[in-house]
């Protein structure tokens, strides 16, 4: 089972992780996530390295730091330049987030 949410990547290429993300509590305890891509251009964001290593993707997994804002209790990550040309951003910075618990996927949203 997974949940779908709409999100927008801001002008600084920051994505706010929705507060209702299934594994957000463990994400708050860490200071990094792991990004990878699939052949179809989907951007996958893993919350733990063990989940990322189980990925069926042949693309490399890149570790990035997350940004935790204590004032508004938001968790954000910066989409690196290497990922900005993916199918996930085909229609722009509006994306659909598919939440699978241990990972989330970004898909284009017109």
Asked if 84 contacts 60 with a C-beta cutoff of 8 angstroms, the reply is no
Taking the whole predicted model, whether its pTM rises above 0.85 is answered as no
| pLDDT score of 49 | 76
Residue by residue, pLDDT tens for the chain (110 residues) are: 578 888 999 999 999 887 766 555 666 566 788 898 888 888 998 887 777 666 666 678 888 888 877 777 778 889 999 899 888 899 999 999 988 877 889 999 87
7-11: long-range pairs with CB below 8 Å, 24+: 7/94, 7/95, 7/96, 7/97, 8/93, 8/94, 8/95, 9/79, 9/89, 9/93, 9/94, 9/95, 10/93
| pLDDT score of 15 | 92
Q: Which domains does the chain have, with CATH numbers?
A: 3-108 (3.40.1550.20)
Asked if 80 contacts 73 with a C-beta cutoff of 8 angstroms, the reply is no
Burial grade of 46 (CB within 10 A; 0-12, 13-18, 19 or more): buried
| C-alpha separations of 44 from 69, 70, 73, 81, 109 in Å | 23, 25, 23, 15, 16
């Amino acid at each position: 089972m997974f949940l779908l949410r709409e999100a927008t990547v801001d002008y600084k290429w920051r994505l706010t992780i929705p507060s209702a993300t299934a594994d957000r509590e463990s994400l708050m305890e860490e200071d990094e996530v792991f990004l990878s891509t699939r052949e179809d251009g989907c951007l996958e964001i893993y919350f733990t390295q063990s989940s990322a290593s189980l990925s069926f993707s042949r693309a490399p997994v890149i570790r990035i730091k997350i940004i935790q804002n204590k004032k508004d209790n938001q968790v954000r990550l910066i989409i690196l330049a290497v990922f900005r040309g993916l199918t996930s951003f085909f229609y722009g910075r509006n994306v659909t987030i598919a939440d699978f618990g241990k990972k989330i996927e970004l898909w284009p949203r017109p």
